């Protein structure tokens, strides 16, 4: 079951010097403010882990052996 917060997640892909750059923008509005401010650092940490995992997976799939995870 998902959190009742509002999340907008935008993916952008752009070419730069022969490479594809993947950019993400995540906008969250957690419910139950001001209590949600207590868990906000945990949400940020989890998002960081998700994106780090994705970066590692993309590097492993497309550039096997060059991952810096």
Under a CB-based contact definition with an 8 Å cutoff, are residues 24 and 51 in contact?
Answer: yes
Residue 55: phi, psi to the nearest 5? Answer: -60, -45
The one-digit pLDDT tens for each residue of the chain (69 residues) are: 455 666 788 999 999 999 889 999 888 788 888 888 898 899 889 989 999 999 999 889 888 765 454
What pLDDT, on a 0 to 100 scale, did the predictor assign at position 34? 85
Q: What is the C-alpha to C-alpha distance for residues 52 and 47, in angstroms, rounded to an integer? A: 8
End-to-end CA distance of the chain: 30
């Amino acid at each position: 079951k998902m959190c009742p917060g509002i999340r907008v997640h935008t993916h952008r892909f752009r070419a730069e010097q022969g490479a594809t750059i993947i950019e993400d923008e995540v906008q969250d509005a957690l419910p139950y403010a001001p209590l949600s401010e207590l868990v906000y650092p945990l949400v940020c940490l989890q998002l960081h882990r998700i994106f780090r995992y994705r970066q590692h997976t993309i590097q492993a799939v497309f550039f096997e052996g060059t991952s810096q995870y």
